[in-house]
Chains A and B, each alone.
Chain A
Amino acid sequence: MRNIIPILTVVGLLILVWYGAAVALNAQWARDVAARADKTLTFSELVADTWSQEKPKLPAPHQVGAELWETTVMKKVTSKRSLVYHTWVTFSATFLGFVMGTALGTLLAVGIVFNRTMDMSVMPWVIASQTIPILAIAPMIIVVLNAVGLSGLLPKAIISMYLSFFPVVVGMVKGLRSPDQMQLDQMRTWHASGMQTFWKLRLPSSMPYFFTSLKVGVAASLVGAIVGEMPTGAVAGLGARLLAGSYYGQTVQIWSALIMAAALAAVMVGLIGLVQRVTLKRMGMAQ
């Protein structure tokens, strides 16, 4: 907790820089408008203007805040304009993909650690899967999956799953193999079976690695869901809002969608961190 003051200081500095940057970036537009009306602006008029433009290059923090308020609290959750609705759409794809990816990744990791054949035959597939930039072909995947009848939530979730399973596999393989030789020998002297060694030694030892991978995986899932929302004609979800905002030049809309996405990421990673702390504490492994 001694980090709280430095963190707040850095965040405070960032917000100040943000306000300053808003003035700098929006000044040109303000001056152009004034020039056309044959006026010149004083400095305070310039600053006030740059912080309240309709389509600013860089919206000021309070503008974004106002838009966020408008589209979350002031709109009905079921309305197509509610940011809460869009966030929910993105979140459901992220969550489904994340759960599938974690399950798949864990199963693969267990298989790889326990079965030499799987280790030799599956590991290369896992590594190769990451050389294909799935995000880059997200549009293609959505189209192909739509063509075979899968649409809506599932294609996006599949992209999310693809992105989140890899960190889980890598982390869990490392974690399941982390007990040192001395501890494994100890298990042998007790004539423990493979299953017993797994549940009593390997799995507990892998917990720190597991949670670290989950954090990476959930962030990757979110990116997958957002990018997956773009090709379908930008209808629903935070990615769609981002794309729509960029098509129609609605900067404040883009920024509010971005902040929501950031908040969503923060909440998910934070929740995992919470579960991590509680679990590791109960296991006596608290860092």
Chain B
Amino acid sequence: MIWILFAIAAWLFGLSVNIWLARQKPSGWASLASPIVFGLTLIAVWEGVVRGFDINQVLLPAPSVIAARFATSLDILWIDFVQTVIKGALSGYIIGCGAAFVIALAIDRFPFLQRGLLPVGNFVAALPIIGMAPIMVMWFGFGWQSKAAIVVVMVFFPMLVNTVQGLQASDAMQRDLMRTYAAGYWRTLLKLRLPAAMPFVFNGLKIGTTLALIGAIVAEFFGSPVLGMGFRISTSVGQLALDLVWAEIVVAAIAGSAFYGIMALIEGRVTFWHPSQRT
């Protein structure tokens, strides 16, 4: 009973703090504090609800239990993190986004190919690429390479479509201006079209961060050596060790947010001039 009251109290408290924060003058620390307060409230409510309603800890462990499991499993979590995030997701991300960028530049010279490629690219981006995971395992084996391959396929098309769109973003007037300076293709590309394309490129890069992480984890459901976050999750589910699953989720959520955040930070530096960065 006490726990339920605690949960309600925590929720009300968190809500009022957030409303108070929203009324303050917008500032750096206020916008950071809000999600933190929200997160803490969520954890407190969760703890209260699980204990108060006596929910089966095997099915839905309380945050305190998860934290305990997290602390005792740091070595496993770290190995899994390196396998899935660093080896699988990150390498696939770099290869996939890099290839998409280069190919977008290559087909920029051929409007004919572009007209055919963009619809096809949009179509492929809608497909359940994750279904190719078993095929990648067959081609590249059980190791991290097959996971990286899936990530490459997943991030390639959104990045390609965004980069192509970005290269078309400079308006006719600015390209005319370059013509009056008798600037050739490469000069115009370097000084006008690439900087103008950056907002779109970073949109693709940010989308890619989430796709890369999810792709690497889910790809491991289809076959993996005895390590990796996806592997750990599926086997832990089988053993009903759901606290370890949640611990892995915590790692995934942190890794995902950090990856996205780093990209957003770089985006802020590179596209400082874009209206969306100035509001």
Q: Is B131 a contact partner of A135 (Cβ separation < 8 A)?
A: no
Chain A residue numbers with a CB within 8 Å of B210 are 130
Cα A184 to Cα B190 in complex, Å, equals 42
Main secondary structure of the interface of B (DSSP, over half): helix
Question: Is A79 part of the contact surface with B, judged by Cβ < 8 Å?
Answer: no
Q: How far is the CB of A118 from chain B (nearest CB, A)?
A: 11
Cα A93 to Cα B222 in complex, Å, equals 21
Q: Is A139 a contact partner of B237 (Cβ separation < 8 A)?
A: yes
Q: Residues on A close to B: CB < 8 A?
A: 2-3, 5-11, 14, 25, 57-58, 117, 120-121, 124-125, 128, 130-133, 135-140, 143-144, 147-148, 215, 219, 222-223, 226-227, 230-231, 238-239, 242-243, 245-246, 249, 251, 254-255, 257-258, 261-262, 265-266, 269
Q: Is A136 a contact partner of B230 (Cβ separation < 8 A)?
A: yes
Interface members, chain B 3-22 (any A CB < 8 Å): 15, 18-19, 22
Chain A residue numbers with a CB within 8 Å of B127 are 219, 261-262, 265-266
Question: Is B73 part of the contact surface with A, judged by Cβ < 8 Å?
Answer: no
Interchain CB contact (< 8 A) of A143 among B131, B229, B240, B257: B240
Stretch from B95-103, B132-140, B173-181, B195-203 contacting the other chain: B132-140
Q: How far is the CB of A2 from chain B (nearest CB, A)?
A: 8
Interchain CB contact (< 8 A) of B60 among A3, A131, A144: A144
Q: Across the interface, name the chain A residue whose C-beta is closest to B250.
A: A132
Q: How far is the CB of B92 from chain A (nearest CB, A)?
A: 15
Main secondary structure of the interface of A (DSSP, over half): helix
24 pairs, A vs B, C-beta closer than 8 Å: A2-B115, A3-B115, A7-B119, A9-B112, A10-B120, A14-B120, A57-B138, A58-B139, A120-B22, A124-B35, A128-B42, A131-B257, A133-B217, A135-B214, A136-B217, A136-B230, A136-B252, A140-B237, A242-B133, A246-B223, A249-B138, A261-B128, A265-B127, A269-B123
Size range of the chain B interface in the assembly:
35 or more
Given contacts A9-B116, A239-B131, A245-B134, 8 further A-B pairs with CB under 8 A are: A58-B139, A120-B18, A128-B35, A147-B56, A227-B218, A231-B237, A246-B223, A249-B138
Cα A132 to Cα B257 in complex, Å, equals 10
Interchain CB contact (< 8 A) of A135 among B35, B218, B240, B242: B218
Cα A144 to Cα B57 in complex, Å, equals 11
